Structure 1
Amino acid sequence: MIIDNPQWIHFGNHCGLSDDVELCVGFNKDVTKEKEHPDLIIGNHVWIGRNCHIGCEYEIIIEDYVIFGPMVHVTDRNHYYEDVTKPIELQGEFGKGKMTIGAESWIGFGAQIMAGVNIGRHCVIGAGSIVTKDVPDYCVVGGNPARILKRYDFNTQKWVKTNG
């Protein structure tokens, strides 16, 4: 297990971390411009599965009762790459602001949630999905890039397939 800068990680009650989890919270003044430091906030009853990686340089909030399957990747930052005369590693990083993973959501095996994406409440992110856009509450998404496959209809009280 790797935990960088635990002073900026806030755990709720009854959380679990499986083997080989990486919680990498780093300070980058270019990303964390208006904040004193980054924050990774993990709510109550959160389970983070084996080989998951969370990279945080601004703010990521994981609300209560979220489940991460194995090998999930979440990040709130990206690398600059525009200058072809410099290695990408030397060009720095940029963030897209605060991210939230809503309460009661399930993030499937190998899913990736990219910088700037917010996941709504009670969502299912299908295995292997690459989530590049916000996901509203009560949705099932899947694919690369992920798209909405089902939504919960409160009038009929059923999950309804979408055209995705």
Structure 2
Amino acid sequence: MFLVLEVPNYYDILEVNNHASQVEIKKSFRNLALKYHPDKNKNSEDSKHKFMQIIEAYEALSDEIARRDYDNKTNHGTHDYASTRPWIPSADFERIYSYSEIKRRYRDGSVGGGMWDISESASIGLWKATMVLFGGLGAVVILIMIFH
């Protein structure tokens, strides 16, 4: 069974137009996240709600594939689309969205790509570890075949 959910206009939430670049989207997200973070607004329910909307919008628009999917589903003048469940944050809310963490990343400029992208050096490290692991397993298999 599908639920028809009213999808918010993520561009309006992030205060950007629908042709905004990734840089513009990220900049707006950072500014709005700092402005509406519950820790800065005495944990008011309004700020929590607005903050979650900002996060949802950023997760949808910061990833090119998710953005294209969103644009395709909402391009017909309405923002209704079929879904089996409502949006759920994809990360550890307290760790990723703590005010101090957002402020640190904003100050350092250390957020790159989509919100959950790992750095290129981490990707290379994972690739090397994978190659060593599978290379080592391959050597073990060959030795077993030779000596068996």
| TM-score bracket for this pair, using the shorter chain length | under 0.3
Structure with greater Cα Rg: 2
TM-score normalized by structure 2? 0.26
More helix by percentage: 2
More RCO (CA 8 Å, sep 6+):
2
TM-score normalized by structure 1? 0.24
